[in-house]
C-alpha cells in the first residue's frame, strides 16, 4: 500500500505595513544599529498597528491569500491549527477566531503553544491527522503579534521581535512527497530563562504586575542562546542521520529566525553553504511562530517538487525540533 503522507500544497504569508527600523529603535532605547546588526542580524521588523488589531487579523490576511492562490473554499477545510504565543485572547483559541473571520464552518480549530517551535509542532500534529486518512485539508497557521508582549523600554528584548503570520495548506499525498520525519523535543526546566511572568494562573494580572512590567517577554538572552545553538544544530544533524541525508542531499534549510549567529551555526554543523539557507531575519526580526512559514512563502517561487527541506526551530519552554519534508510542487504555480 502506498504510504499516505501530509504534503504542503500552498503557502502564504503576511507582514504588517509599519516598519520599525534599527534607527527608530535608537531613538526609543539605549541601543545602536551596529549593536543590533552585529549581535542579531536584524535591520528592521514589521509592527501590527491599529486599535483592536490582533494576531488573528494578520493570520486572516495570510489565510485569505492562501485560499486565493490554491483555489480553496473555506468549506473545504477540515481542521485549523494555529501556533501562537500572542493569542487574541487567553481563550477562545485564536484558531477559532481565524476560522470565524474567514468563514470556515465545517472544521474544528485549536491553538498550539510551543513558543518559537510552535509552527513545527503544529505541522507535525496536523500531519498525523492527514496520515490517518480521516482529514483531507488542514490549515496550519503560525502567527504572532510580538509587539503586544514586548516591553519597548527593555533594549535586551525589544530590538529582537517583530510581527507576522504565515499559513500552509496540508493535503494527503501518495506519491512520496510531504512530511517524511519529525523530531520534536521539550525541556520545561528551561522556562526560567524565557517566559512571561504574569497573566497566567500562577500570577494573575494585578496593578502590581502591570506596574512591575511583568506582562512582557522576559529573556536571559545568553542562556537561551547557548541552548538554542546546541539544540537546534543537534536536532538538525540528528534528523539528517536518521534519514540517511548528507549535506549535498539537502536543498534548503528553513531555520527559525531568532539570531543570525544561531542560524549560521546550525548551517555549519549541517555542512550547508549559505546559499541553501533561508534567511530573512534582517527584514522581519524574530516573529516567533511566523518565521518558518514566512520563509517558505518568500522562497516559494524557488522551490521545486522533490526538494529535500529541513525545518528547524528552538524556542521558549524550552522547545525544539526539526522536520524533514519533500516539497510537493513546483513553486509559484
Ligand atoms: O526565539 C527563541 C529563543 N530566543 C533566542 O534564540 C535568542 C537567543 N539569544 C540571543 O539571540 C542573544 O543572546 C541576544 C541577541 C538576545 C543578546 O545578544 P548577546 O550577544 O547574548 O548579548 P548579551 O545579552 O550578552 O549582552 C551583551 C551586552 C550587555 O552589556 P554588558 O553587560 O556587557 O555591559 C547588554 O546589556 O550588550 C548589552 N545589550 C545591548 N546593548 C545595546 C543588550 N541589549 C542591547 C541592545 N543594544 N539592544
What domains can be seen in the chain, in order of their start residue?
A: 5-176 (3.40.47.10), 180-326 (3.40.47.10)
Write the DSSP symbol of residue 146: G
Q: Does residue 114 carry a pLDDT above 70? A: yes
pLDDT at 333 over 70: no
User: Using one digit for the tens of pLDDT, what is the confidence trace for 267-317?
Assistant: 999 999 999 999 999 999 999 999 999 999 999 999 999 999 999 999 999
- What Å distances lie between residue 134 and 106, 128, 141, 189, CA to CA? 14, 10, 20, 36
Determine whether the shortest distance from the Cβ of 286 to ligand 1 is under 6 A.
yes
> Minimal CA–CA distance to 286: which of 223, 186, 217, 187?
217
Which region among 154-163, 207-216, 304-313, 324-333 has the lowest average model confidence (pLDDT)?
324-333
Residue identifier of the C-alpha nearest atom 41 of ligand 1: 31
Residue pair 174/4 in contact by the 8 Å Cβ criterion: yes
For ligand 1, atom 8, name the residue with the nearest CA.
225
Distance 129 CA to ligand 1 centre (A): 40
Could you tell me the pTM of the whole model? 0.97
Give, in degrees to the nearest 5, the angle at Cα 99 between 94 and 100.
100
Amino acid at each position: 500500500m502506498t504510504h499516505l503522507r501530509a504534503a504542503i500544497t500552498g503557502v502564504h504569508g503576511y507582514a504588517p505595513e509599519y516598519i520599525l527600523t534599527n534607527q527608530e529603535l535608537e531613538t526609543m532605547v539605549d541601543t545602536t544599529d551596529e549593536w543590533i546588526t552585529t549581535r542579531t542580524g536584524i535591520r528592521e521588523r514589521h509592527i501590527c498597528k491599529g486599535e483592536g488589531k490582533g494576531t488573528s487579523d494578520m493570520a486572516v490576511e495570510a489565510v485569505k491569500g492562501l485560499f486565493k492562490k490554491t483555489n480553496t473554499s473555506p468549506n473545504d477545510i477540515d481542521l485549523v491549527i494555529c501556533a501562537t504565543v500572542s493569542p487574541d485572547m487567553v481563550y477562545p483559541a485564536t484558531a477559532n477566531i481565524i476560522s470565524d473571520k474567514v468563514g470556515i464552518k465545517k472544521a474544528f480549530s485549536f491553538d498550539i503553544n510551543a513558543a518559537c517551535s510552535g509552527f513545527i509542532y503544529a505541522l507535525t500534529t496536523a500531519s498525523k491527522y492527514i496520515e490517518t486518512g480521516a482529514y483531507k485539508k488542514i490549515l496550519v497557521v503560525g502567527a504572532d503579534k510580538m509587539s503586544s508582549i514586548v516591553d519597548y523600554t527593555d533594549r535586551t528584548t525589544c530590538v529582537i521581535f517583530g510581527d507576522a503570520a504565515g499559513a500552509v495548506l496540508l493535503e494527503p499525498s501518495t506519491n512520496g512527497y510531504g512530511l517524511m520525519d519529525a523530531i520534536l523535543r521539550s525541556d520545561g526546566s528551561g522556562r526560567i530563562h524565557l517566559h512571561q511572568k504574569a497573566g497566567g494562573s500562577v500570577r494573575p494580572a494585578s496593578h502590581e504586575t502591570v506596574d512591575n512590567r511583568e506582562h512582557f517577554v522576559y529573556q536571559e538572552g545568553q542562556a537561551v542562546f547557548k541552548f538554542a545553538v546546541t539544540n537546534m544544530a543537534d536536532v538538525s544533524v540528528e534528523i539528517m542521520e536518521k534519514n540517511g541525508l548528507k549535506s549535498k542531499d539537502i536543498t534548503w534549510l528553513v531555520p527559525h529566525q531568532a539570531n543570525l549567529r544561531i542560524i549560521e551555526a546550525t548551517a555549519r554543523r549541517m555542512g550547508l553553504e549559505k546559499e541553501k539557507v533561508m534567511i530573512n531575519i534582517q527584514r522581519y526580526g524574530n516573529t516567533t511562530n511566523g518565521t518558518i512559514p514566512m520563509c517558505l512563502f518568500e522562497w516559494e517561487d524557488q522551490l521545486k517538487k522533490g526538494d529535500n527541506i529541513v525545518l528547524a526551530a528552538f524556542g521558549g519552554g524550552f522547545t525544539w525540533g526539526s522536520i524533514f519534508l519533500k516539497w510537493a510542487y513546483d513553486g509559484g504555480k
